[in-house]
């Protein structure tokens, strides 16, 4: 049975004084607490880590706590959640319980009651495993009958029972985390933690502390000791997503941890032993990064023990009808709607689209259509997102006329390259790391290209000056 010496809790509260009081109370009751001050920060943290529990305030500065509750339960159906508020009542409490919360606390409340309620729930939840048929990550639950997906699934079924390190290659949105969870759930480690770590979602200065943990006072803001992802995943599986985004200094420490099967918390010299299976994922060519000197060759070979290539959706178009109907049914269930059907014209539009965002983009498009379906039982073309019905909107190629005297090929190509880079930076609000991911480039390659393509221009120089990594509390 899975045991956890220190259950992890995400605490979402915009009142910093109250948030600190609650965090200290929970930590005194043997919880490891991560703090978020608003809904945006909370959802970002949920994307990077599978917390055991969520405590969320109903009123947040940028949204409603119920939305965070929904986001948590969509990502982690078994998360234990508590909603707290100073202005709610019976209707809010009923709504929270219906949406998956285990309890609803009205402010003010006894701090220790909060921790006691979580301990009771987690004890019941962690120690009692569901019966086999209810496990969501079985191979026969993976949607896909195409030859490309059957080949992948056959390979994963062979390697899942092993302890070998796996490196998942695939474009953004191809389901790398789903495959990682499926490997874990079909291994001997299934009764122990699956812990996700997104290398690109955490600022470089905090990534080491998140991965290996830290002791109290190790750096500014380290008000208490905290276990890292390796310790949390002990006897289970650690999923390192977007490993290509990991800075070189952290790459060397990760390599040592994998070789020695131990790590040191930031600010401490005492080694911590762990037993963890590592599954890494990347959406860029790591071999190319090795050649460019931006990814350690020895770490690459340490991770690339069993490589698995996940096909993009355009390479498995025959799976689109099954996936689309699955996402339609899922969206209808979540919104309390009767089942919607997909007529042939709509299905043809789905089949003909390139899906650069792969399965994730398909799910979003289907949810968009369901949301606009109103009382209609069948989805219509007009309900699909604009880019599906206007494919010319995705054409990034400039209109080029070649005169009789010819053109300067290098100049035209450089102009297109500059336009793509600046559009990606505009789309990401200036975040160079996310822009690089959109273009399937490393961050350093993107910066090199910006400089080479003319940093003297005002727009490009502005992009070079931006350093917009999202703030993260530790």
Q: pLDDT tens, 387-405?
A: 888 765 555 555 566 666 6
Domain harbouring 265, CATH code: 3.40.50.300
How many Cβ atoms from other residues are within 10 Å of residue 390's Cβ? 11
**94 and 113: one domain?**
yes
Q: Give the whole-angstrom CA distance, residue 431 versus residue 424.
A: 9
More confident position, 346 or 130: 346
Listed residue (366, 249, 226, 241) closest to 296, CA to CA = 249
How many Cβ atoms from other residues are within 10 Å of residue 240's Cβ? 22
User: What's residue 177's pLDDT?
Assistant: 92
Beta bridge mates, 198? 241
Query: What residues contact residue 184 under an 8 Å CB cut-off, 6+ apart?
Result: 137, 190, 194, 236, 237, 239, 277, 279
Could you list the residue range(s) of the whole structural domain that residue 369 is in? 313-394
**305 and 322: one domain?**
no
How many Cβ atoms from other residues are within 10 Å of residue 130's Cβ? 10
User: What's residue 100's pLDDT?
Assistant: 86
* 471 located within any domain: no
**439 and 304: one domain?**
no
Domain harbouring 60, CATH code: 3.40.50.2300
Whether 380 and 386 have beta carbons less than 8 Å apart is answered as no
Q: What are the CB-based long-range contacts (under 8 Å, 24+) for 152-156?
A: 152/179, 152/308, 152/309, 152/310, 152/311, 155/308, 156/182, 156/183, 156/186, 156/308
* 201 located within any domain: yes
**319 and 304: one domain?**
no
User: What's residue 456's pLDDT?
Assistant: 37
Could you say which DSSP state residue 56 is in?
Answer: E
**302 and 349: one domain?**
no
**160 and 258: one domain?**
yes
The string of pLDDT tens digits covering residues 42-58 is: 988 887 777 888 999 98
The β-bridge relationship of strands 53-57 and 8-12 is: parallel
* 403 located within any domain: no
* 452 located within any domain: yes
**16 and 59: one domain?**
yes
Whether 33 and 27 have beta carbons less than 8 Å apart is answered as yes
* 3 located within any domain: no
Segment 95-119 mean pLDDT: 83
Could you say which DSSP state residue 311 is in?
Answer: P
Cis status of the peptide bond prior to 349, with omega within 30 of 0: no
* 384 located within any domain: yes
pLDDT band of residue 383 (cuts 50, 70, 90) is very high
User: What's residue 6's pLDDT?
Assistant: 74
Terminal-residue alpha carbon distance, the chain? 30
User: What's residue 137's pLDDT?
Assistant: 67
For the chain, what is the domain count? 4
Beta bridge mates, 240? 197, 280
Longest pairwise C-alpha distance within the chain? 82
Whether the predicted model's global pTM rises above the 0.75 cut: no
Domain harbouring 319, CATH code: 1.10.8.60
Using DSSP, state whether 169 is helix, strand or coil. strand
What is the arrangement of strands in the sheet containing 194-198, beginning at the earlier edge strand?
Answer: 194-198, 237-241, 277-282, 166-169, 306-309
**364 and 264: one domain?**
no
Could you say which DSSP state residue 189 is in?
Answer: T
**144 and 285: one domain?**
yes
Segment 100-120 mean pLDDT: 82
Domain end residue (candidates: 267, 289, 309):
309
**335 and 292: one domain?**
no
In this structure, what token pair is assigned to residue 311?
Answer: 């096909």
**How many whole angstroms from its chain centre is CA 423?**
23
**292 and 318: one domain?**
no
Could you say which DSSP state residue 69 is in?
Answer: H
Domain end residue (candidates: 104, 128, 152):
128
pLDDT band of residue 287 (cuts 50, 70, 90) is very high
Classify residue 109 as left (phi > 0), alpha (psi -120 to 50) or beta.
beta
User: What's residue 380's pLDDT?
Assistant: 93
* 134 located within any domain: no
Q: Give the whole-angstrom CA distance, residue 400 versus residue 409.
A: 11
**361 and 213: one domain?**
no
User: What's residue 393's pLDDT?
Assistant: 55
pLDDT at 136 over 70: no
Domain end residue (candidates: 343, 361, 394):
394
Q: Give the whole-angstrom CA distance, residue 285 versus residue 300.
A: 11
Q: What are phi and psi of 303, to 5 degrees?
A: -85, -30
* 133 located within any domain: no
**Which burial class, exposed, middle or buried, applies to 108 when counting CB atoms under 10 A from its CB (0-12, 13-18, 19+)?**
exposed
Query: What residues contact residue 375 under an 8 Å CB cut-off, 6+ apart?
Result: none
Segment 132-155 mean pLDDT: 75
The string of pLDDT tens digits covering residues 170-226 is: 998 999 999 999 999 999 998 898 999 888 878 777 788 888 887 776 666 666 777
DSSP letters of 99-139? TT-SEEEESS--HHHHHHHHHHHHHHHHHSPPPGGG-TT-G
pLDDT at 474 over 50: no
User: What's residue 76's pLDDT?
Assistant: 75
Segment 330-352 mean pLDDT: 88
pLDDT at 124 over 70: no
pLDDT at 450 over 50: yes
458-465 vs 443-452: helix crossing angle, rounded to 10: 150
């Amino acid at each position: 049975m899975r045991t956890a010496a220190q259950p992890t809790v995400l605490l979402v509260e915009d009142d910093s004084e109250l948030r600190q009081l609650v965090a200290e109370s929970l930590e005194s009751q043997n919880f490891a607490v991560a703090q978020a001050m608003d809904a945006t920060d909370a959802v970002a943290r949920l994307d990077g880590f599978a917390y055991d529990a969520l405590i969320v305030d109903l009123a947040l500065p940028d949204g409603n706590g119920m939305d965070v509750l929904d986001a948590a339960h969509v990502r982690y159906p078994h998360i234990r959640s508590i909603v707290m508020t100073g202005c709610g009542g019976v209707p809010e409490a009923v709504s929270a319980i219906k949406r998956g919360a285990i309890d609803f606390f009205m402010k003010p409340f006894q701090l220790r009651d909060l921790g006691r309620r979580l301990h009771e729930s987690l004890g019941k939840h962690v120690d009692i495993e569901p019966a086999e048929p209810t496990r969501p990550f079985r191979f026969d639950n993976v949607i896909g009958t195409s030859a490309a997906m059957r080949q992948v699934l056959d390979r994963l079924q062979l390697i899942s029972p092993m302890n070998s390190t796996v490196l998942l290659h695939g474009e953004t949105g191809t389901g790398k985390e789903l495959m990682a969870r499926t490997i874990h759930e079909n291994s001997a480690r299934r009764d122990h933690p699956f812990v996700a770590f997104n290398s690109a979602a955490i600022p470089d200065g905090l990534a080491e502390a998140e991965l290996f943990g830290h002791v109290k006072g190790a750096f500014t803001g380290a008000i208490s000791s905290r276990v890292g992802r390796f310790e949390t995943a002990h006897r289970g599986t650690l999923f390192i997503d977007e490993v290509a985004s990991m800075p070189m200094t952290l790459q060397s420490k990760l390599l040592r941890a994998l070789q020695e099967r131990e790590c040191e918390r930031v600010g401490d010299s005492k080694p911590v032993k762990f037993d963890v299976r590592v599954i890494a994922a990347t959406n860029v060519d790591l071999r190319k990064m090795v050649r460019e000197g931006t990814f350690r060759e020895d770490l690459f070979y340490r991770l690339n023990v069993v490589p698995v290539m996940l096909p993009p959706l355009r390479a498995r178009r025959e799976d689109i009808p099954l996936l689309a109907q699955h996402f339609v049914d899922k969206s209808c269930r979540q919104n309390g709607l009767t089942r919607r059907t997909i007529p042939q014209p709509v299905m043809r539009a789905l089949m003909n689209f390139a899906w650069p965002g792969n399965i994730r983009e398909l799910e979003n498009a289907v949810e968009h259509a369901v949301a606009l379906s109103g009382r209609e039982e069948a989805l219509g073309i007009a309900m699909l997102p604009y880019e599906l019905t206007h494919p010319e909107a995705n054409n990034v190629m400039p209109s080029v006329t070649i005169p009789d005297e010819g053109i300067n090929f290098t100049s035209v190509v450089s102009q297109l390259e500059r336009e793509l880079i600046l559009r990606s930076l505009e789309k990401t609000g200036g975040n160079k790391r996310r822009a690089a991911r959109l273009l399937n480039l490393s961050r350093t390659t993107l910066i090199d290209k910006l400089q080479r393509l003319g940093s003297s221009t005002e727009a490009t120089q502005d992009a070079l000056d931006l350093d917009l990594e999202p703030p993260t509390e530790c």
